């Protein structure tokens, strides 16, 4: 058993609350254990300079941790004058992950969807929770665009979710809380689609190198976790995607639950 009583292959409880705020075209509070992240999607009728005149859209993300999202107050980055390197890395990861499953040519023209991820409470896995929650907020925003007649169909090709995996006290564990993450010998973040395709793998031997065999075992455990997260996303999106996605079929490479 682990610090919080879970099995090593068990996710923390996941809760997705839609329409958490009033103004965003998509707004989701995602809770994974004690980690809570507000993910908001905003639609803007313009694109970055490098896309002007091309007739295609864009998705980008910003990420921030509130001052008391952590045990000790965190100084706001605006006070520092620039975002930290970790912040920039995470918001780029969120943007890449979402763009990987959206046909940007079908965003109704030159529209940008801004994804804002604000960590209200951090207990490990804030970047992975941000990706999982942002997908739901994004699809809600696309549903809003469809109702407005901007797009004819929701141009999403697959689900996308993320989870952490690590080696803690020699054991491979899924979805690390902060107490586990802070002492993990190996730390990995896995981003995958609902049909089992890899978007990104970030893995580091913090205390010692790890074997390829253990890497495969961590990826397999992460795939199982992402399959369960995808089910939670589908449930949250039943009103927007009542029939699921057109290409949402599990094949031999799909994220199967065990």
Tens digit of each residue's pLDDT (9 = 90 or more) over 31-90 = 999 999 999 999 999 999 999 999 999 999 999 999 999 999 999 988 888 888 999 999
In this prediction, residues 156-180 reach a mean pLDDT of 96
Identify the residue whose tokens are 């030159």.
110
Q: Tell me: pLDDT of 203 over 60.
A: yes
Please state the domain extents for the chain.
14-236
Percent of the chain with pLDDT over 90: 88
The token pair at 107 is 């965003």
Q: Are 164 and 75 in contact (CB under 8 A)?
A: no
CA distance 164 to 205: 14
What pLDDT shows up at residue 247? 53
Q: Tell me: pLDDT of 257 over 70.
A: no
Q: Tell me: pLDDT of 242 over 90.
A: no
Ramachandran category for residue 80: left, alpha or beta (phi over 0 → left; psi -120 to 50 → alpha): alpha
For 71, residues 6+ apart whose C-beta sits below 8 A from its C-beta are: none
Helices (H), the chain: 77-80, 85-99, 126-147, 178-181, 212-236
Q: Tell me: pLDDT of 123 over 80.
A: yes
What pLDDT shows up at residue 255? 53
What pLDDT shows up at residue 245? 80
Q: Tell me: pLDDT of 113 over 50.
A: yes
Average pLDDT across the chain, whole number: 93
Q: Tell me: pLDDT of 249 over 50.
A: no
To the question of domain 14-236 being in CATH 1.10.630.10, the answer is no
């Amino acid at each position: 058993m682990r610090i919080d009583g879970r099995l090593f292959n068990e996710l923390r409880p996941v809760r997705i609350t839609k329409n958490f705020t009033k103004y965003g075209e998509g707004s989701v509070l995602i809770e994974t254990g004690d980690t809570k992240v507000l993910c908001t999607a905003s639609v803007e009728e313009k694109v970055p300079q490098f896309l002007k005149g091309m007739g295609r859209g864009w998705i980008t993300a910003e990420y921030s941790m509130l001052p008391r999202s952590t045990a000790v107050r965190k100084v706001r980055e605006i006070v520092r004058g620039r975002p930290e390197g970790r912040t920039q890395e995470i918001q780029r990861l969120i943007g890449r992950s979402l763009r990987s499953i959206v046909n940007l040519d079908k965003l109704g023209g030159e529209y940008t969807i801004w994804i804002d991820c604000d960590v209200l409470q951090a207990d490990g896995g804030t970047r992975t929770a941000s990706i999982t929650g942002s997908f739901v907020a994004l699809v809600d925003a696309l549903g809003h665009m469809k109702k407005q007649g901007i797009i004819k169909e929701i141009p999403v090709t697959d689900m996308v979710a993320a989870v952490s995996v690590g080696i803690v006290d020699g054991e491979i564990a899924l979805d690390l809380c902060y107490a586990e993450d802070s002492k993990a010998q190996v730390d990995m973040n896995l981003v995958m689609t609902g049909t089992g395709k890899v978007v990104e793998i970030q893995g580091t031997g913090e205390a010692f190198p790890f074997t390829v065999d253990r890497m495969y075992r961590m990826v397999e455990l992460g795939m199982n976790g992402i399959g369960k997260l995808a089910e939670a996303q589908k449930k949250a999106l039943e009103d927007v995607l009542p029939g699921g996605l057109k290409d949402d079929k599990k094949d031999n490479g799909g994220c199967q639950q065990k």
